[in-house]
Amino acid sequence: MSKRVIDFEKLEELLKQHDGQMLVFEHGEPRLVILDPKRYPNLFLDKEVNPSGLEEKVRGAKILVTGGAGYIGSVAVENLLASGYDVVVLDNLSSGKASNVSCPLIVGDIGDPKTLDKLFSEHQIDAVMHFAAFVKVEESVKFPEKYFQNNVVNSLALLNSMLKHGVKKLIFSSSAAVYGQPSSIPITEKHPCFPTNPYGESKLMFEKIIQWYSKVHGISAVILRYFNAAGASISGNLGEIREDVTHLIPKVLQVAAQQEEELRIFGQDYPTFDGTAVRDYVHVDDLALAHILALDKLTKDQGVFTYNIGTGTGYSVNQVVDCIMEQTGKMIMTEHAPRREGDPASLVADASLAFSELGFAAQYSDLPTIVDTAWSWHKKRFRL
Ligand code: UDP
């Protein structure tokens, strides 16, 4: 790998933009570190940032989590329960696992009005966190109907049932896929949205539905546009379980665990510092924290609020592979492969709005922590 030229001016500019970021050097490479305001309160003197500062009235509130048996939803449930919330999960177990859920679980579909009626009648729900969705980009290109049905039509049934039962607070899992090919990096929430696949389109469509329901029906919502969710829960109990692994980090871990022979690196001619694609990886516990802060926001403010949830730091495919070799001590064989259709060169969040308005700052999203938690989970799951 050729030596990177460090642009200190750019780094300084970035540091000025993001309060609470620090520049550190790791193996001679500069890296921005996002600090946790809870652990370093004195560095955030001018801001009222308190991630665990839940309003008393929110404690004990009941939250419906759709997709709470899945990868991100289950970690959010774990964090909600730890923060004192009452939680009910609705999941059809199409990809989630019942064993991930340690609160009441209703096995059913978000698109089934009968299930929803029963649920909202039996439980006094204060807010809904809506994770349940199909999430595979490649699959969405092959079967768009599947994505529009579940992510839009079924989600609409959920929203209508919420309205019918007077539940007006929603936290919606959206995605950086709504932006499509970015024209500038880091991506702010004001960046134009032109999704390049049905998955991103389905997320954007539902975002728009939420905006209209807010205007017309008074729904309040926080829309969280996740960048690349990664890692396994800090508790060690939860992580990603998929039949057909496509995401980079679990894929590399399969190679480390000798379950796959080699990693195919899709594209080495991107206009990035080492030619491989750059992504902003966010630890799943940090995503969960963002949801809890979003709930807090909805106790204070009405309207629709949209935030990028990322770290502002991107890592290339090569950097991810290097980090995994270092953390696992295993050799990763790689093979050059053509670019994957529709993959942008670089997707990095400007996460400053979530920081200033929600008090969100990633705590576990440095690459070594992401890899370490994911590897421990992988070893536990496959009894390695
Ligand atoms: N990637 C890769 N090999 C793989 C899987 C992913 O080179 O086996 C690359 C992919 O092309 C992208 C990056 O890793 O540039 C992150 O891919 P992932 O599927 O994890 O997330 P995406 O950003 O596509 O949602």
**Residue of 242, 288, 295, 4 whose CA lies nearest to 128:** 295
Pairwise CA distance, residues 312 & 18, whole Å? 9
Element containing residue 240 per DSSP (H, E): none
**Residue of 126, 39, 119 whose CA lies nearest to 80:** 126
Strand partners, 165: none
Count the helices and strands in the chain (H runs, E runs). 12, 16
**Residue 243 token pair:** 């039949």
**Residue of 318, 138, 345, 344 whose CA lies nearest to 245:** 138
* Domain presence at residue 236: yes
- Ligand 1, closest atom to CA 266? 7
According to DSSP, the β-strands at 62-66 and 127-130 are parallel
Ligand 1: does its nearest atom lie under 6 Å from the Cβ of 340? Answer: yes
Name the residue with the closest Cα to ligand 1, atom 10: 266
**Residue 168 token pair:** 């007006």
Number of structural domains in the chain: 2
Q: Kindly state whether residues 158 and 63 are assigned to the same domain.
A: yes
Q: Among 3-12, 39-48, 68-77, 282-291, where is mean pLDDT lowest?
A: 39-48
CA 186 remoteness from chain centre? 17
The 10s digit of each residue's pLDDT in 333-362 is 999 999 988 789 999 999 999 999 999 999
Exposure string over 324-349, b if 16+ CB within 10 A, otherwise e: bbebbeeebebeeeeeeeeebbbbbb
Q: Kindly state whether residues 303 and 323 are assigned to the same domain.
A: no
Mean pLDDT of the chain: 89
Ligand 1: does its nearest atom lie under 6 Å from the Cβ of 279? Answer: yes
Q: Kindly state whether residues 61 and 138 are assigned to the same domain.
A: yes
Name the residue with the closest Cα to ligand 1, atom 18: 247
Which CATH number fits the domain that encloses residue 82? Answer: 3.40.50.720
Q: Among 22-26, 170-174, 191-195, where is mean pLDDT lowest?
A: 22-26
Ligand 1: does its nearest atom lie under 6 Å from the Cβ of 246? Answer: yes
**Residue 306 token pair:** 């949209």
* Domain presence at residue 12: yes
The 10s digit of each residue's pLDDT in 103-143 is 999 999 999 999 999 999 999 999 999 999 999 998 999 99
pLDDT greater at residue 247 or residue 7: 247
Pairwise CA distance, residues 296 & 318, whole Å? 38
Q: Kindly state whether residues 246 and 319 are assigned to the same domain.
A: yes
Ligand 1: does its nearest atom lie under 6 Å from the Cβ of 136? Answer: no
Residue 60 pLDDT more than 80?
no
Element containing residue 225 per DSSP (H, E): strand 220-226
The residues near 351 (Cβ < 8 Å, ≥ 6 apart) are 18, 34, 186, 307, 308, 309, 310, 311, 312, 360, 362
The residues near 96 (Cβ < 8 Å, ≥ 6 apart) are 67, 68, 69, 70, 71, 73, 74
Q: Kindly state whether residues 179 and 256 are assigned to the same domain.
A: no
* Domain presence at residue 2: no
- Ligand 1, closest atom to CA 177? 25
* Domain presence at residue 1: no
Amino acid present at 356: S
Name the residue with the closest Cα to ligand 1, atom 11: 266
Q: Kindly state whether residues 236 and 88 are assigned to the same domain.
A: no
Domain extent for 20: 8-42+232-280+312-349+356-381
CA dihedral 159, 162, 167, 173 (to 10 degrees): -40
Q: Kindly state whether residues 214 and 102 are assigned to the same domain.
A: yes
Pairwise CA distance, residues 75 & 81, whole Å? 10
pLDDT greater at residue 166 or residue 19: 166
Q: Kindly state whether residues 236 and 328 are assigned to the same domain.
A: yes
Pairwise CA distance, residues 340 & 323, whole Å? 22
Q: Which of 199, 213, 270, 315 is catalytic?
A: 199
Q: Kindly state whether residues 106 and 211 are assigned to the same domain.
A: yes
Residue 382 has what pLDDT? 83
To the query of whether residue 364 is one of the catalytic residues in this protein, the response is: no
Q: Kindly state whether residues 303 and 193 are assigned to the same domain.
A: yes
Pairwise CA distance, residues 226 & 37, whole Å? 21
* Domain presence at residue 48: no
Which CATH number fits the domain that encloses residue 361? Answer: 3.90.25.10
* Domain presence at residue 51: no
* Domain presence at residue 47: no
Residue 363 pLDDT more than 80?
yes
Strand partners, 195: none
Pairwise CA distance, residues 379 & 256, whole Å? 10
Residue 342 has what pLDDT? 79
Q: Kindly state whether residues 130 and 114 are assigned to the same domain.
A: yes
**Residue 118 token pair:** 């029963």
* Domain presence at residue 67: yes
Strand partners, 281: 228
pTM over 0.75: yes
Residue among 343, 367, 371 to mutate when testing ligand 1 (max atoms within 8 A of CB): 343
Give the chain's length. Answer: 384
**Residue 258 token pair:** 């000798």
Looking at residues 189-198, what average pLDDT do you find? 96
**Residue 208 token pair:** 């728009």
Q: Kindly state whether residues 181 and 208 are assigned to the same domain.
A: yes
Residue among 226, 317, 322 to mutate when testing ligand 1 (max atoms within 8 A of CB): 317
According to DSSP, the β-strands at 304-309 and 315-316 are unpaired
Pairwise CA distance, residues 192 & 188, whole Å? 9
The residues near 175 (Cβ < 8 Å, ≥ 6 apart) are 199, 200, 203, 225, 226
Pairwise CA distance, residues 110 & 107, whole Å? 10
